[in-house]
Amino acid sequence: MAYRATIEDFREALRARMRATRAGRRVRRLMTLIAVLLLAFATASWLLNGTVDIPLMAMPTVLLLVMLSAPRMQARQFYRLADAGGACRTVVDESGITVTNQQQSSALAWRAMARYTETPRVFVLFSGDKNASSLTILPKRGAPGPGDVDRLRTLFDQHLTRA
């Protein structure tokens, strides 16, 4: 595979990580619960007192904006780091994955990864720890041929668990 990472690759991977990990799902539920409770409190205050403090109404909106923009901000930071390395060349085979760019080369055996998920544009491979602290992003557009995405999926299914 040959590709240059984009911000959208990182955004999609981070969103997938939030959906695929227990910690990510917990954070999303907690943020949503806090926003709903603040909104309910503001509504109750308005119904009982006829007035609502502006900060109380603004908090759910700010909280939701932070929740929605966090993956975008993280993606930009990761992209800046990855872009400094230039274009990537990735080899996926029976022994694992090797990613090489202008600055470094990294080889991961299959046992270093436990799970993967697939989005419309990328494959995201996760480490085995419960927070998936390490992830590898493989954009599908980097596959050399049309049947190679299916071959990648088959290799991942053989060696990893689908998240």
pLDDT by residue (tens digit) across 107-127?
999 999 989 999 999 999 998
Model confidence pLDDT, tens digit, residues 78-112? 899 888 889 999 999 999 999 999 989 999 999 99
Q: Which of 18-32, 106-120, 147-161 has the lowest mean pLDDT?
A: 18-32
* pLDDT at site 60: 72
User: Which pLDDT band, with edges at 50, 70 and 90, does 129 fall under?
Assistant: confident
CB-based contact 134:125 (threshold 8 Å): no
Which residue's structure tokens are 């202008």?
A: 102
Q: Which of 66-70, 80-84, 136-140, 143-147 has the lowest mean pLDDT?
A: 66-70
Q: What is the DSSP string of 20-56?
A: HSHHHHHHHHHHHHHHHHHHHHHHHHHHHHS---HHH
Give the residue-averaged pLDDT of 18-32: 81
| C-alpha span between 105 and 89 (Å, rounded) | 9
* pLDDT at site 131: 67
* pLDDT at site 139: 96
Buried b (16+ CB within 10 A) or exposed e, 80-108: eebeeeeebebebeeebbebebeeeeeeb
Nearest partner of 111 among 99, 123, 128, 124, judged by Cα: 128
| C-alpha span between 138 and 58 (Å, rounded) | 39
Share of the chain above pLDDT 70, in %: 98
